[in-house]
Amino acid sequence: MSELDNLQKADGKEEIKKSNSDQDIAANPESIDLKEDAPTTDTLIADHSDKPISKITASEEKTTEAEHPTENETEAPKGDASIAEGQENQPQKNEDDDLINEIDESNAEDAEDEGNKDRHKIEVKEYDKMSLEALANELEKLVKSEKIQAIKKHVDTINAEFKTKFNALIEEKKEDFLNDGGNEIDFFYSSPVQSRFKTAYKEYRNKIHDHYKNLENNFKQNLADKLEIIEELKGLINVEENINTTYKHFKELQERWRKTGPIPRDKYNNAWNSYHHHVEIFYDFLHLNRDLRDLDFKHNLEKKLLIIERAEELAKDDDIMRAFRELQELHKMWKEELGPVGKEHRETIWARFKNATKIINDKRQVYYQHIDKIHENNLEKKLQIIAAIEAINNEKIVSHSLWQKKIKEIEALREAFFNAGKVPIKVNEETWSKFKTAVRIFNKHKNAFYKNLKKEQYDNLQKKLELIKIAEDNKDNEDKEATTALMKKIQNDWKKIGHVPRKDSDKIWKQFKAACNHYFDNMHASKNAANKVVLDAFNKKYELLDSLKTLKISDDKDKNLATITDIIAQWNSFGRVPNDKRYIEGKFNKILDELFSSTKVDKNEIELIKFENKLEDLNSEDNTRNLDNERSFIRKKIDELKGQINQLENNLQFFTNVKEDNPLVKEVHNNIKEHKNNLDLWKTKLSKIKELY
């Protein structure tokens, strides 16, 4: 039966019965007792004089053979003995065996991964703390600069983190989109960083696919090569040739086996067991030459002692993870590269090696316990952060300023959450889900507030647009008094209206401000022009007033009246004076009184002349309110005089049987006459005002 047939049967887990000798070999692979009467030759010794290694490290004599079997996995092909190499004299499985199995299984994985030498050299960064941009950069860097088979765990972690964070971003963008009035079916969001990440990840997938496709082809060829080596091993014991030549051929086959690359994992156990079984048979065949066997035992012992010494050094290393990784390499060398040692040394060296292994593993367990404690502390921190976010969610936030404050608090809590470090794997998803839920609730409340706020802001926008229309419609109005009051009112109304959407705020403010400024600039320009005119009027009136101090009045009544009338007309022609200089009008009226007193003009006539002068001044102010006030005052005086006249006439009725020349009666008649003259004067004034209307 061929070795390939044996492998196929073993793959089907066919139960194989072993001979007693085979079982002995499987239980104790170094128990083969070669006969002592074997001849020795110098040639044989010379052919096997390998130089002993001076120092064993994790990188020396390491092969890329596929995974080796654990104690429970060992199953030999039919007719072959199973050799559990490295498990010398260990009849019962215990805690130490579990550790050895763990190391063996890890080495089995590494054997099929040609990039394992580089895998541990790539820095494992805190991907959970990275931004989307940083994650994309890291993925691009790994795919471009590292061996594709060495970055799988890194890429998987980066991909998971990117998906989680990008999905959270999409959820926020979607909520904002819906709150702005969008339809869910229309929502779409993408970003340049997402495109970059997808491109880099696609490149990784293509490279890893090509890598494993090549590996698969290599594995098949390597399997065929190793099966061929096993067949050649079988044939060594049937070859009739010099033992030296046969042994040299055996060593060449061993070297070819070590140099042959990995084979399919599901074929490895049986191939490895079959190979070592036939190696042991060959050693049994060498019973004719005990010196050769002892030399091999010595050579293997020297190398295994160096391995033990290196393991004991690693037991003192403070970098426990590095020490454990190198320990795995030492176990692989012990099991796959070295043969048996003398029976008297087997238990001793294996015990030493296991003891060093246990020390390193104990330190590793302490390290893991420390890491677990750190992860538990990180979990506590993250749960406190989640509780803080939930507490904010329960607050009643009713103003924009308060929401802005809470948004900053949430951002700080988010940052603290991402910086808190890793948590135990078993609660990682649950913790992340709680965090996302808490943040999502906050965003939901925030978006609901700003959705209502946007409606209010839209209403405010409409109100302000109405004020803008009023301002623009009246910016060129010539009715300064009414328009100025209107402009001041709409400016106050603008201040009372709340916020508008930010995108419209600057635009409408500039539009409103431009309309108001246009009006007030025109008004100020008109005032400045008017101020110059009234100031000129004041200067002219001041000069005229100064000249009147030297005016001479003649005895000619008509001439004096004409002179005074001309002076009044000239005074009125100058126009209005500034409000703060209207005192000059009082001075002018005082001089007029002095001029009139020096003439023989009728008192009422003088009053009318002065009144006409006053009307000229009132009418020149372009303010009907002053004329209205004057008209109301005259009507009031007329009513008062009428009342006084009626009262005096009623009083005369009480004087019965009293002569007309009675002094008291004469005084009443004189008062009535004077009041009627005044009444006529005020009526004349009223008629003159009506003429102006």
Q: For 280-293, write each residue's pLDDT tens digit.
A: 788 777 665 677 77
pTM of the model: 0.43
Type of residue found at 37: D
Other beta carbons less than 10 A from residue 271's beta carbon? 26
Q: Taking the domains of the chain in order of start, what are their residue ranges?
A: 3-114+190-341, 376-496, 501-622, 627-693
Q: What secondary structure letter does DSSP report for 395?
A: S
User: What is residue 187's three-state secondary structure?
Assistant: coil
Residue carrying structure tokens 């009443």: 668
Question: Are residues 376 and 345 in contact, defined by beta-carbon separation less than 8 angstroms?
Answer: no
Please state, in angstroms and as integers, the Cα–Cα distance from residue 555 to each residue in 18, 558, 561, 601, following that order.
169, 9, 11, 11
Q: For 484-510, write each residue's pLDDT tens digit.
A: 999 999 999 999 998 888 888 899 999
- In this structure, of 94-103, 130-139, 278-287, 382-391, the range with the lowest mean pLDDT score is 94-103
Q: Looking at the predicted structure, is the pLDDT value of residue 112 above 70?
A: no
Contacts of 567 (CB under 8 A, 6+ apart): 544, 548, 551, 592, 595
CA separation for the pair 385, 435 (Å, rounded): 8
State the pLDDT at residue 619: 66
In this prediction, residue 97 has a pLDDT band, given cuts at 50, 70 and 90, of low
Question: Are residues 634 and 685 in contact, defined by beta-carbon separation less than 8 angstroms?
Answer: yes
CA separation for the pair 91, 664 (Å, rounded): 160
Question: Are residues 127 and 187 in contact, defined by beta-carbon separation less than 8 angstroms?
Answer: no
Q: Looking at the predicted structure, is the pLDDT value of residue 333 above 60?
A: yes
Q: Looking at the predicted structure, is the pLDDT value of residue 51 above 60?
A: no
CA separation for the pair 494, 463 (Å, rounded): 8
CA separation for the pair 430, 436 (Å, rounded): 10
Q: For 363-376, write each residue's pLDDT tens digit.
A: 999 988 898 999 99
Token duo for residue 18: 């072993």
Count Cβ atoms within 10 A of the Cβ of residue 344 and give its class: 0-12 exposed, 13-18 middle, 19 or more buried: exposed
84: nearest Cα among 355, 350, 357: 350
CA separation for the pair 335, 331 (Å, rounded): 6
Token duo for residue 89: 């004299």
CA separation for the pair 642, 182 (Å, rounded): 80
Question: Are residues 52 and 65 in contact, defined by beta-carbon separation less than 8 angstroms?
Answer: no
CA 45 centroid distance within chain: 73
State the pLDDT at residue 379: 93
673: nearest Cα among 636, 686, 665: 665
Question: Are residues 282 and 340 in contact, defined by beta-carbon separation less than 8 angstroms?
Answer: no
CA separation for the pair 548, 567 (Å, rounded): 9
Residue carrying structure tokens 């290196």: 310
Token duo for residue 194: 């997402």
